[in-house]
Amino acid sequence: MKKILVPVKRVVDYNIKVRPKADGSDVDIAHAKMSMNPFDEIAVEEAVR
């Protein structure tokens, strides 16, 4: 039995519009929907095969 490790990263969902913080210092992701990186999804699917 092979053991395969696939690193996965959570990113902001690409379907939403990201807004800057009020002071303009960063991006406000406090209420943003997070999802798995689409390329990581492909890697997980290939690892399961």
The model's pLDDT over 38-47, given as tens digits with 9 standing for 90+, comes to 899 999 999 8
Does residue 41 fall inside a structural domain? yes
Residue 37 and residue 44: Cα distance in Å, rounded?
11
Does residue 5 fall inside a structural domain? no
Does residue 26 fall inside a structural domain? yes
Domain that holds residue 39: 10-48
Does residue 4 fall inside a structural domain? no
Distances (CA, A) of 16 to 21, 43, 44, 46: 16, 23, 24, 27
Read off the pLDDT band of 26 (50, 70, 90): confident
Question: What DSSP state is assigned to residue 26?
Answer: S
Percent pLDDT > 70 in the chain is: 100
Cα angle 22, 28, 34; round to 5: 165
Does residue 3 fall inside a structural domain? no
Does residue 2 fall inside a structural domain? no
Does residue 17 fall inside a structural domain? yes
The structural domain count of the chain equals 1
Beta-strand runs (E) in the chain: 10-12, 19-20, 27-28, 34-36
